[in-house]
Amino acid sequence: MLFPLVEQLVNEKAYKVTGMLLELDKTEVLNLVESPDTLRDKVAEAMKVLELEATATAAAAAAASGSGDGDAAAPSSSSAA
C-alpha cells in the first residue's frame, strides 16, 4: 500500500525510502498513506538523509584512499632503508 505511493515520488530509491518509512510508528505510517502532503514531506526528508549518507560515505572513501597511499609508502621506505 505504501510502496506504490513512494514509487510515484522517488522511483529510483523507492525500496530504500519505503523501508525507512516503515520504521516509523504504525499510526504515522497510516497517516502517510492517507495524507499525500505528509508523505511528500517525509519522503523528501528521507531523501535528504540518503544524500547526506552518500556524501559522508564518499568523503570517508576519499579520505581512506588518501591515507592508504601514505601508509603504503611508509613501510616500503622503511624496508628499503
Domains and CATH numbers, the chain: 2-80 (1.10.1900.10)
Q: Residue 75's pLDDT is what?
A: 54
| Residue 57 clears pLDDT 60, i.e. is over it | yes
How many helices and strands (H and E) does the chain possess?
4, 0
pLDDT confidence of residue 66: 78
Phi, psi of 4 (to 5 degrees): -60, -35
Task: Tell me the per-residue pLDDT of 5-52, one tens digit each, with 9 for 90 and over.
Answer: 999 999 999 999 999 999 999 999 999 999 999 999 999 999 999 999
In this prediction, residue 71 carries a pLDDT of 52
> Could you tell me if 20 and 49 are in contact, meaning their C-beta atoms sit under 8 angstroms apart?
yes
- What integer pLDDT is reported at residue 32 of this predicted model? 98
- Crossing angle (nearest 10°) for helices 2-9 and 26-34: 60
Quick one: pLDDT at residue 72? 52
Listed residue (57, 43, 37, 56) closest to 15, CA to CA? 43
